[in-house]
Structure formats: structure tokens, C-alpha cells
Amino acid sequence: MPKMAKSIAFGIFLVILTSLCLPSSADDSAYVIKSEKLPTDLNFMPTLGNGHLGYTIFGDAIFMNGVYNGVGGNSRRARLPNWLNLSVASIQYEEWALSIIPDAYELRLKDGYFRWLFAYEANGLQLQLEQRSYPHRYYNRALIYELFVRCTGAFDPLLINLTQKAGSKSEAFDFASSSTDSNHTKRYKTLHGATRQREQPDLQPKSREIFVLFSDDWENEYTIEVPAGEQEFYYRFVITADENEEVAWQEMDEVLKHAPESLFKKHTEEWHKFWQDFNIEIEGNLEMSRIINAGAFYLANSLPSLRTNRPNNPYYGLSPTGLGRGELDADYEGHNFWDTEIWMLPAVAQFNADWADQLFHYRFAHLAGARFNANMTGYRGARFPWESAYTGTEVINPCCPEIAAQEIHISPDIVLSLQQHYPATHNTEWLCSIAWPIAKEVAEFLVSRVQDDGQKYHLKDVMGPDEDHANVTDNVYTNVVVKKALQFASFTRAICASANDLPDVWIDIVQRMHILYDENLDYHPQHLGYKRGETVKQADVILLGYPVQYAMSNTTRLNDLKNYETVTRESGPAMSWSMFAINFLDVNEMEKANLYFQRGYRDYVRPEFKVWSENKVGYEGSANFLTGIGGFLQAIINGYGGIRFHLDGQRSLMVIQKTHFLPTTMGYSINGIKFAKSKFSLAIHKNGTTLKCLEKGDLDIELSLNSQKYAIDADSSFDLDGNVAFLRTI
């Protein structure tokens, strides 16, 4: 029999219900995504998180940041059943039962929650239901389900039947009830479990423990009785979880002290700060605006809350499908790849530099794992693994060991990302405490990995981003990022090391690294022996232009694009087309750029809730594909917005190249561009391009525009008029 409660929760004010049910204002329409139906594949439901906990709406899993189960390549996010997957199944009134099929589903981006609505009217009875689900952004150990009921004309009690579809038992934990009351006045149902397997016993001496608390003690079915004549009713179900039982208890106590409106306000305040700090405003294309906002929202959901009730636990990075997924192979087991640094981090750094710092800190904190990985494969220094999880050792899926062995570009990719982040922040303390230790040890690995034939340095038995070609020599992308990484290691040593003399071998490799180039055809062959016309999986050589920013002529760059655009697989991932768009913009091929920009999102975004797929409709691919979102946002910020970061000696430089209109829009603004502790907006409209300083930091910055120099002050505003703008630290 289902459990029953009589009016177990307190009523809510009518004003709360009324305000929540009002239609969105015109200003918020770009932040509300509505659908009258669910996607046929529930993998494309929204994935929500707060950096500590994550889940997919109506899915069967909850995941906690940094908690993995399984040995080596079998390590994957440790799944908790989705006890928050609650929904009203039916309502009984008098002699009839009403099955609840929601009228509408909404993803509310600005406030950071998902809701489903139902309304019924017959024989004088008027009934409105709203159900909400969200991971709390301030109380980030808490997941919230809320039910709001408004009913008039009922002369008998309503029996509301809730169902819980948590899915099967956890494959990662054996849970048992915890008897500790932690000196709290109220008892909560508490489960305690430890992961069954450790990822790498040498670096993980203990299993990961977890405590899960529930505000109410019921499973599967629950019946709530709403007394006759009660017009407003509220019920909530709260889950808290942490490795520390006391933290989970305290979080539950404090959440339940809040009235509904104050609890919700604490959550929405954090999301409002996010949108105030960064947003992209689109004119004349509401659909694109929603896709952009949803993409930023899904990416931010897997990042840790920046202001929390209790200090955050260490953060374990961004996986290609986010924190709310990770048990399945299709979700990349929740591991970290080069996707983080090359595809997602440039956009994340514009959201908030603190988030970028936390992503880099994950790599810094796992240098021991990278050293272990280098040593186990016969090399020196730090070799970051192709797939990284809890320990930072190699945890590649057992299907594909050759990828881990050959895609060595991930280590210099990380250093390349450090090199591009430093000029954006000009944070010398970070450069020396985080970037330098990573760059130094990666450089040592690269020195031990290259081969010198007396004339040139080579890299053999490698695989570039194009995974269709294995065991190649001198993949040009890999060799270039190795060169870039050693240049940056030399730069950071000069600033951060006690001795300023540079290791001769680093500079020697930079100067003699073999970079394949066909002089006759004026293009870069992908690797030694590559034949023009061979199919490639995804963007590889074209990445030399952007994001690598390798110096070459525009004709060479255009020839690279023309050679590889026709041979890149149709089934390739979304972000490849975004990179084609950016690079075609840089060589002034607008028609091609617009084509690839639209191709990069149009067939990858599912219509109901703007959730991304790794591959286009018709091909299998991962859902909630944050890598594709990262590439798409770079296409707008760094492509059409023209924003690039460089080192200028020991000064930092932000260049705003020629800006371009986004196709199918009337104009747009990128608000919250971060550079050298200041914040800017860039507005691109038909009447011109305007750069404004929104917040001035404590570093002095000058603008060079049209051979004139201007000091940047708070509220500075400049019309760029199609000219290239250079902002430099002084």
C-alpha cells in the first residue's frame, strides 16, 4: 500500500503561486524554453547540476563531483539512484481518479530550474499543479523537488499520489542506513555507502564514502491528503549528499528552515549573478538566442557554485557530457579529455575566471597522476592521460588503448590553454603557482618523447585529433602544439624560476621541430604520408589557425581549409564545423563561415529543450554534449566577435579583430568579456561596433585604435568602426 500523509507540509502564500504561474515578460522570453511534449529519447532531457551534484530530469541517476567507481579503464562516475525523480501520477477526488499528464514543460534558464504544469477544470473544481526540480545553487549539497497546488471548488479532500522512479539499485555502492544522529534535533533517513572499487590503488588508498539524507522517509509511492477547502498547498522533497555526514546533516537542517520563497530566492540569486556577469544578447532571432542561452546554461550547470553555504569540495573537472551523466560509455564515463582545455575552457573563462582557475587547478592537483602515467609508459615529467578521473592516471575505456598510447597532444594542449589564459587574466601569481609547475613537467615529458635525427625533431607513433589515422609520424597539429608548449614553458621559467637561464633543449626543440608543409600545394599535410583526399574524422590541421594561432599566411590557411573541408566526415562531432567557421572568418570567406556556423548547431540541437547531441540527427552520439556547446560559443565570441588573447612580451594583449554579423540576426552584444581584471561589452550592430568598459579592475590598460592610444577608465566607450582594436596591460 502507498504511504499516506495528511497535510504534511505548510501552506504557501497565494502571491507566490500567482507569480510563478504568470507568463514570462518579453525581456525573459529568451530565457524560457517551453515544450508541450517530451523528447522521444529522454536522453535529451535537460541535465542540471551545481558542481557538487548533477542529474538529468526524469533520468535514473544522480552523480557527485569526483566520486568514481571501478579499476583503471573501468572507472566511471559512481551512480546513485535518482531518488529525486518524483512526479504526481494521479489525483483522487470523490469517486474518480484523474491521471496527470502535464500540459507544458518549461526550462527556466534565468532562474535555473525545470518545471512541469497541469491545469484541470470540471464541475466547479479548478485545479493547478506546478512541479519543480533543481539542484540548489547556494545550498549546493541539496537537490530540491517542489509541488505547488492551487485548488478551488473542492468539497472533499484531494488525495495526491506521488511516484518515485529512482531506477535500479546502485552498481557502485552497497548502501546501509546510518544510525548517527549527529546531535541534530530531527531524524532524517540517512544512507551511507562506499565505492566498491578504487581507480588506482597506488594513488587512491581508500574508497570514496558518501552520505545521502532524505527529508522524508518513503520510496516508490506516497499519497498526500489535501484537506477539503484548502486552496493552496506546498510539498517539498529534499536530498542532501556529501562525503562528510555532518555537512549533509547541516545542509538539510538549514534548507528545511527556509520558507519556499526564501529557499528559492537563495537559488535564483546565484543564477541571476551568472547572467549578469556574462550573457550574449541577440537581436532579431529568438530561436538562436534561446540556443545560446541554453548552451551557456548547460555548460555552467556542471561548474561549481561560486558562492555556497559551505565550502566546496575539490572540483574534478568538466566531462564532455557534464556532471549529471557519466556511468555509461556514451557519457565518456564522466572522464576529462582535451575537450576541457581546447573546447570548453575558452568560453568558461569568459563566464568567470574563477571557474577557469578551478579547471586548471584540477590538472595541477593531479600532477602526481600525470607523473605516474609518464613513468609507467617509460617517460619523464608529467604525461597527462587521455582520460582522467579521480587519481589523474590513465583510465581510458578498455576498448581503445591505442588512443591513450598515441594521442599525446593532450599534455601540450593543456599548456596551450595555460598560455592563452594568462594574457586574458594577467595574473602573475597564478602563472607562477599553477601554470609554471604544469608547463615545466609537461616540457620534461615532451623532451623525453621527441626523437632527434640530427636535423629535425620528430614524433612517431602518434595520433592527432583525427582518430581515423593511427600510428602516424609527425602529425602536424601535435608537433605544433608541442612547439607552442615548450615556448610557453620557456616564457614562464623566465618569469617564475629562480634561475633565468633556459634549458637549451627546450629552445632547440622549438627551433628544430619538424612542421610538415607542402610548398608546392601551399598547405599542411596532416601527417607524414597523408594523401590529399583521405577522409578524416574531425577538425585536425585546420586547428592550427584557430585555436592554436600558429603563424602562417592567409593563403596557406585558406588552402588548409579547402583541402580538409571536403574530406571531414559527415558523422563527425559538432565542434569541427564551429572551427571551420572561425577559420573561414579569419580569411574573409564570409559565405563559407556562415554556412559552417549554422551547420555547427542546426542539426545538433534537439528542439524540445535545446539539448546538444555529439552527432547530427541520424547518427548515434552523446547527449548534453558540452564540447559542441564550447565550440559553438567560441564561434560567436572569438569568431564573429573577433576576440583573441596574446602575449606581447611580458604584457598581455587582447585583440578585437574585424567583427562580423551573426547570420540570421539583426545584431548582437557580448556582455562580460574578461580581460586583465576588467570587464567589457562588445556590441555589433548595423550602425557600427562599440566597445564599452563595464568594470575597471586594478590593472592599467590602454587601447590602441587607429594609431591613437587611450587609457581605459570605468565607463569608457569607443566606436571601433571596423578597425582592429588592441588592449594592452601597461
Q: What is the pLDDT of residues 594-643, one digit of tens each?
A: 999 999 999 999 999 999 999 988 788 899 999 999 999 999 999 999 99
**CA 324/CA 169 separation, integer angstroms:** 17
The pLDDT of residue 326 is 96
Residue in 423, 270, 293, 273 with CA at minimum distance from that of residue 349: 423
Collapse the DSSP code of 195 into the 3-class scheme (helix H, G, I; strand E, B; otherwise coil) and give the result. Answer: strand
CA angle 432, 436, 440 (to 5 degrees): 155
588 and 674 share a domain? no
47 and 106 share a domain? yes
**pLDDT over threshold 90, residue 555:** yes
Mean pLDDT across 702-715: 95
3-state helix, strand, coil in the chain (%, to 5): 35, 25, 40
Mean pLDDT across 148-152: 95
365 and 440 share a domain? yes
Confidence of residue 403 (pLDDT cuts 50, 70, 90): very high
The pLDDT of residue 122 is 86
pLDDT digits (tens, 9 = 90+) for 231-246: 999 999 999 999 999 9
Confidence of residue 386 (pLDDT cuts 50, 70, 90): very high
The pLDDT of residue 500 is 63
Is residue 495 within 8 A of residue 431, CB to CB? The reply is yes
- What CATH number is attached to the domain comprising 209? 2.70.98.40
Mean pLDDT across 170-195: 83
Q: Does 269 map to a domain? A: no
The pLDDT of residue 34 is 97
Q: Does 272 map to a domain? A: no
Q: Does 516 map to a domain? A: yes
607 and 674 share a domain? no
The pLDDT of residue 571 is 87
The pLDDT of residue 669 is 98
Domain that holds residue 109: 3-256+285-289
708 and 614 share a domain? no
Q: Does 623 map to a domain? A: yes
CA angle 167, 169, 172 (to 5 degrees): 120
370 and 245 share a domain? no
594 and 662 share a domain? no
**pLDDT over threshold 60, residue 180:** no
* Domain count of the fold of the chain: 3
The pLDDT of residue 317 is 96
pLDDT digits (tens, 9 = 90+) for 33-64: 999 999 999 999 999 999 999 999 999 999 99
666 and 529 share a domain? no
Residue in 718, 720, 674, 670 with CA at minimum distance from that of residue 696: 674
Mean pLDDT across 678-691: 96
The mean of the pLDDT values for the chain is 94
Q: Does 301 map to a domain? A: no
pLDDT digits (tens, 9 = 90+) for 461-512: 999 999 999 999 999 999 999 999 999 999 999 999 876 666 689 999 999 9
Collapse the DSSP code of 664 into the 3-class scheme (helix H, G, I; strand E, B; otherwise coil) and give the result. Answer: coil
pLDDT digits (tens, 9 = 90+) for 1-29: 344 443 333 333 333 333 333 334 447 99
CA angle 205, 409, 537 (to 5 degrees): 115
**pLDDT over threshold 70, residue 448:** yes
* Active-site residue set: 467
How far does CA 726 lie from the centroid of its chain?
A: 29
674 and 526 share a domain? no
For 45, 167, 465, 597, 604, the CA distances from 600, given in Å and listed in that order, are: 21, 34, 18, 5, 7
Q: How is residue 432 written as a grid cell?
A: 607562477
127 and 234 share a domain? yes
Q: What residues form DSSP beta bridges with 690?
A: 683, 719
Residue in 575, 576, 481, 474 with CA at minimum distance from that of residue 535: 576
The pLDDT of residue 696 is 97
Q: Does 261 map to a domain? A: no
**CA 200/CA 208 separation, integer angstroms:** 12
608 and 460 share a domain? yes
First to last CA, the chain: 73
The pLDDT of residue 394 is 98
Q: Does 166 map to a domain? A: yes
Q: How is residue 148 written as a grid cell?
A: 505547488
**CA 163/CA 499 separation, integer angstroms:** 66
599 and 671 share a domain? no
**CA 329/CA 122 separation, integer angstroms:** 48
- What CATH number is attached to the domain comprising 399? 1.50.10.10
Collapse the DSSP code of 390 into the 3-class scheme (helix H, G, I; strand E, B; otherwise coil) and give the result. Answer: coil
Q: Does 59 map to a domain? A: yes
Mean pLDDT across 147-167: 94
